[in-house]
Amino acid sequence: MKRNTLMFALIIVVGISLAVTANAKVIKWKMTSTWPPSISLIEADQAFVKAVNHLCKGKLQIQFFSGGTLMPSYEVFDAVSNGVIQASGDWPNYWAGKDRVFDSLGSYPMGLTPMDYLLWIYSAKGLDIYQEAYGKFGMYYLVTGITPMECGIRSNKPIKTLADLKGMKIRMSGKTQGHLLKDLEAAQVAMAGQEIYQAMQKGTIDACEFSSPSSDWGMGFAEVTKFWAVPGWHQPASVMGVMINKKAWEELDPELQQTVQYAAKVATLEFLSKQYYDVIEYTDKFIDKGIEINNYPAEDLERVQSLINKHTEEIAKEEPLFKKSMQSQIEFRKKFAKWREMEGPFGFGYNPKTYPDLDK
């Protein structure tokens, strides 16, 4: 009798458990991106969606739509803010027209490097600045990837010094970057990444920049340019992320929110390591194609630093949140200054002047 009672109780418990599981609400999100499939930066969004759908075990499912398939890329900010869709991948600087703080969160001329951004965001409370910036527009934000240094300027005439930029029409993103080009007597031309190839081909613009070597190669820049000026002082790194509608975020329970946060960190690691490793293959591809690489002299980079300091000071006078963001970044860099000096050539990577011959 006792055995039958226990068995009956077990059946009831299992039945209730299965019923709860069957009736559990699956949360479904639609997510898009600023990037079309032809631009490798979309890989940050794809890595995030993959990680969420795997780690959330069916409790949250994200259906992903490539950039341009649901709406034009420039509309995604308002679409997420207004709850038309739950999420979208982005690059913060695209929204500098809404608040200048965004100009400091995706990249900044002579600014944070990839490792700087990683440490500042996750260990120096930089992520709090993103939440404050996007929170003003009803969104929650997670970082999903960081690129290596942006390639630099590509052109069909050699650029060996800043003086060579004079009079050139250059496709370059970023509001502050535009001010710098004006200082250098060049003209900033704004256009979507998909339009750059044709603009270079037709001579509508004289030079361009976009992103990492893998992105630039995939966009066909080796076919329409001959010269490559480095380093990419205009964007020492770029942060990719996902905008999430605040109401949709708050509908997730705390455990699910934490899982999504972990998914974003997984995506960041996957994207950063892949983008960085890809520079080997795609830099070689440009070189093999006959692209000539020229380096700016040290004094030119010092001049850019002087110019960007001036603009940063001017913007900070008018934009409180921008000032807060830049103060946080500057304090972070100052704290690391001594250690950077001590690291010497062993900071991110060391290029030995000689290597052992292991075939002797």
Annotated binding-site positions for Na(+): 210
Structure token pair of residue 66: 């490539």
Single-letter amino acid, residue 287: I
Integer CA distances (angstroms), 181 to 32, 79, 117, 167, 249, in order: 32, 32, 24, 10, 39
Tokens of 246: 């605040």
Annotated binding site for substrate: 150, 171, 209, 235
Question: How far, in Å, CA of 253 to CA of 126, rounded?
Answer: 24
Structure tokens at 82: 């207004």
Q: How far apart are CA 145 and CA 141, in angstroms?
A: 12
- Can you tell me which residue has the tokens 């692209």? 291
Residues constituting the chain: 360
Planar angle of CA 271, 277, 279, nearest 5 degrees: 105
| Binding-site residue positions | 150, 171, 209-210, 235
**Rg over CA atoms, the chain:** 24
Per DSSP, the three-state class of 314 is: helix
Strand pairing partners for 147? 238
* Paired residues of 32 in beta bridges: 88
